[in-house]
A and B are shown apart, each in its own frame.
Chain A
């Protein structure tokens, strides 16, 4: 409880969305959404399909530019920034659909995930300088370490596209951790997983948070959301309809009506 209260203090705000609005050809996908994600928490976003959750992620990571509204990271406006510049600030992301480097091995995938740590230019590579070699060795070590962290150490030489689905999702998480982000967006990390795999990914997400990272997670699996999030926002038809801790959300009438429908039968009588 102490953690949550501490996290909620204004000055600890990490990512702030203010009045974010976006249209897709006349359809309002998000309408004035405010969110405030605090340092160190696991923040859940739920809502029915098509309610705008992934759009929200795309805006926060720079893949979409909002029509109006502000996105600020640690108090600094990043509205309209390109994705690779936002990534350089320390914001990572796991995509909803598989988005690995399919024709590279697990190790090569993870080596590329540390791209931002590379500093030697082409001349260093051309003359194969000591600095170039030591930097590459470090990247490789970090890649092996990451593979161990997500339990893929025996798969380092397997091509990413040949991994089973559950391991591909784990690799995705490992790649997202490669740049060492402070804030990590997870877009439906356990979709299509069996209960055992789900439980192990939940464990993984908790250990990532314990490493001092802030996590924002979109997920349909309520067990996951209720089990790991400290706060949850509910989005429906592009607007935020509720926000609070899991307990509050589970008993919120609006949320229940969005998911289960209102009791129209009563009204008819």
Chain B
């Protein structure tokens, strides 16, 4: 147990000094994206790993969070931190609505219905030009600012400045998810995932708990959307496209479901592997695809759980040799 905390603190220290040591703005930029999408992947894993359900509509909540915050801050001039609450609330509300309609069914049907809802939202973003600017997207979204009295005003308008804020967002999410999984709701959804009938006879109703978890997951994805849009300062309907759903799925599944480390490792792989593969310029994406395939075949449970198993294996063998 203590061992785990030592590793966590070491990794955190590494994350804190990384941009200083590397001192490359592009590297910092990729790390910021990694953190933001790690939040998105963690929110997705709440559905995939936590509830054991397949939703293909997580991008809808990322997009709602991003659009709500973008519209409010750039068009109506609402202070950015108020936009945070609006984005999270709106994404949660959309999640609640979609969940109400779709969570009565399971399996492939749930996947299709959630995908359908996400596509509807994409159409709205494309078509409702007066509000969303359609395909043009919304530009010049104000950056996040902290303007406390007696302290210098900080504008998070560059990767170097945004980096630590993104790290704080990610840390909050990690804490949030770990506490959620220990809570009554976390116990309920994991029980339902394992065995729905058995859970019912223990007094755990499926619909109400799935709906709560789905709504929280949506709100968290909205939070990721908020963090993303104020960093990139631009949003277009692509954020509601399947591209982001696939991105999240790859992170969750390649990294490993039902763990907190998994989606984070997945996000790191997703952003940094293509960067390292730049040495083979033309074959970059082919190699990337091939490596995802290899990861998934060799470690079907995900990279993070596989590495934990490997560590256990090595430790046990070392222990045996000593005997």
Q: Give per-residue flags for B196-222: 1 if the beta carbon is below 8 A from chain A beta carbons, else 0.
A: 011111111110000000000000000
Q: How far is the CB of B71 from chain A (nearest CB, A)?
A: 29
Contact of A87 among B179, B184, B194, B200 (CB under 8 A): B200
Contact of B179 among A93, A101, A104, A125 (CB under 8 A): A125
A212 on the B face (CB < 8 A): no
In whole angstroms, how far apart are the Cα atoms of A86 and B17 in the complex?
Answer: 56
Q: Is the CB of B202 within 8 A of A178?
A: yes
Q: Which of B109-144 contact A (CB under 8 A)?
A: none
Number of contacts between A and B (CB, 8 Å)?
A: 89
Q: Is the interface of B mostly helix, strand, loop or mixed?
A: helix
Q: Is the CB of B176 within 8 A of A126?
A: yes
Q: Is the CB of A83 within 8 A of B200?
A: yes
Q: Is the CB of A87 within 8 A of B202?
A: yes
In whole angstroms, how far apart are the Cα atoms of A122 and B176 in the complex?
Answer: 10
Give chain B's interface residue range (CB within 8 Å of chain A).
20 to 34
Contact of B197 among A88, A92, A95, A175 (CB under 8 A): A95
Q: How far is the CB of B26 from chain A (nearest CB, A)?
A: 36
A124 on the B face (CB < 8 A): yes
Q: How far is the CB of B48 from chain A (nearest CB, A)?
A: 15
B180 on the A face (CB < 8 A): yes
Task: Point out the residues of chain A lying under 8 angstroms from B202, CB to CB.
Answer: 84, 87, 112-113, 115-116, 175, 178-179
A205 on the B face (CB < 8 A): no
Q: Is the CB of B198 within 8 A of A125?
A: no
Task: Point out the residues of chain B lying under 8 angstroms from A115, CB to CB.
Answer: 184, 187-188, 191, 202-204
Q: Is the CB of A104 within 8 A of B194?
A: yes
Q: Give per-residue flags for A112-130: 1 if the beta carbon is below 8 A from chain B beta carbons, else 0.
A: 1101101011101110100
Q: Is the CB of A92 within 8 A of B201?
A: yes
Given the known A-B contacts A112-B191, A121-B184, are A99 and B197 also in contact in the complex, defined by CB atoms under 8 Å? Answer: yes
Q: Is the CB of A179 within 8 A of B195?
A: no
Contact of B201 among A83, A101, A102, A125 (CB under 8 A): A83
Task: Point out the residues of chain B lying under 8 angstroms from A228, CB to CB.
Answer: none
In whole angstroms, how far apart are the Cα atoms of A226 and B190 in the complex?
Answer: 40
Q: Is the CB of A122 within 8 A of B184?
A: yes
Contact of B185 among A87, A111, A122 (CB under 8 A): A122
Q: Is the CB of A125 within 8 A of B197?
A: no
Task: Point out the residues of chain A lying under 8 angstroms from B191, CB to CB.
Answer: 101, 112, 115
Q: How far is the CB of B243 from chain A (nearest CB, A)?
A: 32
Given the known A-B contacts A82-B205, A84-B203, A84-B205, are A101 and B184 also in contact in the complex, defined by CB atoms under 8 Å? Answer: no
Looking at A102, A115, A121, A179, which has the most chain B CB atoms within 10 Å of its CB?
A115
A103 on the B face (CB < 8 A): yes
Q: How far is the CB of A226 from chain B (nearest CB, A)?
A: 28
Q: List 8 A-B contacts (CB under 8 A).
A: A83-B201, A84-B200, A115-B188, A115-B191, A118-B187, A120-B184, A122-B184, A128-B179
Q: Given contacts A83-B197, A115-B187, A115-B202, list 9 more A-B pairs with CB under 8 A.
A: A84-B199, A84-B202, A102-B194, A111-B187, A115-B188, A124-B183, A125-B186, A126-B183, A175-B198
Q: Report, nearest first, the 8 A-B pairs whose CB atoms are least far apart.
A: A125-B183, A83-B200, A84-B205, A101-B194, A116-B203, A87-B203, A99-B198, A118-B184
Q: Using CB atoms and an 8 Å cutoff, list the residues of chain A in contact with chain B.
A: 61-63, 82-85, 87-88, 92-93, 95, 99-104, 111-113, 115-116, 118, 120-122, 124-126, 128, 175-176, 178-179
Q: Using CB atoms and an 8 Å cutoff, list the residues of chain B in contact with chain A.
A: 176, 179-180, 182-188, 190-191, 194-195, 197-206
